[in-house]
Amino acid sequence: MSLGLVDAEALAALHDRINICTSCRLHETRTRAVPGDGPVTARIMAVGEAPGENEDRTGRPFVGAAGQLLTRLLQSIGLDRQDIYICNVLKCRPPGNRDPEPDEVSSCAHFLDEQVALIRPDVILLLGRHAVGRLLPGMPGISRIHGQRVRRGDRLYVPLFHPAAALYNASLLRTLEEDMQRVRGYLDDAEAERERQRKDEEQEAARAAAVRAADEQLTLF
Ligand code: SF4
């Protein structure tokens, strides 16, 4: 069985566990849990705050007006939503869309950690302050760091305002659109860096092969 298939099955099994989770009070009021959506092979992951009313009803993340805006923002920088794995910090809707409580975030934390570990994305878009607080604890507030790239090991994190906050705020929407253009630049930089590394490795392999060939010639005499 290919590694991709094993990962896809592991992700499906993780979604199954989320769907029946009763670890915090939110399971009592949810209609459906919302594990996440997208391919296990995604190189980009987007993490929001928690399901809203539409998500709670359908079991899918970002399907309401904020989801449509997210899809449009991704398209504006040449990304297809189908290629991205999208999920939330909390997998069940807080009643009335209230803020997540700390104990709920901590009960749910291991699910997001498992999703990141399985998907191993190169880039994580952090949509809103709760996603930033969860995956980049200790960073300044989102109004100070939105649109910046934060590198942790091999992974790039980009804090962005949550699309729901930009729905009825024209100035925030403009900021979010500008930040998405920065994301395009970061992705292009990362692609160029990968290409540089690939060429360096090719040159190194060619050099090593030339040295080996020269050594073999010498042993003939
Ligand atoms: S929010 Fe997370 S921890 Fe709470 S019931 Fe849903 S899946 Fe379980």
Residues with Cβ < 8 Å from 5, sequence gap 6 or more?
none
Instruction: Show the domain range for 128.
Output: 3-219
The CATH number of whichever domain residue 182 belongs to comes to: 3.40.470.10
CA of 88 to the centre of ligand 1 (A): 11
Residues with Cβ < 8 Å from 168, sequence gap 6 or more?
none
Q: Which of 91, 110, 113, 134 for mutating ligand 1's site (highest number of atoms within 8 Å of CB)? A: 91
CA of 63 to the centre of ligand 1 (A): 19
27 DSSP β-pair partners: none
User: Would you say 151 and 186 are in contact if contact means Cβ atoms under 8 Å apart?
Assistant: no
Strands (E), 63-180: 85-88, 123-127, 150-152, 155-160
Pocket-forming residues, ligand 1, beta carbon under 6 Å:
18, 21-24, 26-27, 33, 90-92, 104, 107-108
> What distance in Å separates the CA atoms of residue 40 and residue 135, rounded to the nearest whole number?
19
Residues with Cβ < 8 Å from 41, sequence gap 6 or more?
4, 7, 119
- At 47, is the secondary structure helix, strand, or coil? strand
The pTM assigned to this predicted structure is: 0.91
pLDDT at residue 215, as a whole number: 87
Counting atoms of ligand 1 from 1, which one is nearest the CA of 30?
6
CA of 48 to the centre of ligand 1 (A): 15
- At 99, is the secondary structure helix, strand, or coil? coil
DSSP character at residue 90: S
Closest C-alpha among 42, 36, 179 to residue 123: 42
> What distance in Å separates the CA atoms of residue 149 and residue 6, rounded to the nearest whole number?
31
| Six token digits for residue 75 | 């398209």
> What distance in Å separates the CA atoms of residue 17 and residue 12, rounded to the nearest whole number?
9
> Over its length of 221 residues, how does the chain's per-residue pLDDT go in tens digits?
676 778 999 999 999 999 999 999 999 999 999 999 999 999 999 999 999 999 999 999 999 999 999 999 999 999 999 999 999 999 999 999 999 999 999 999 999 999 999 999 999 999 999 999 999 999 999 999 999 999 999 899 999 999 999 999 999 999 999 999 999 999 999 889 889 999 999 999 999 999 999 888 887 76
pLDDT at residue 4, as a whole number: 74
Domains contained in the chain, number: 1
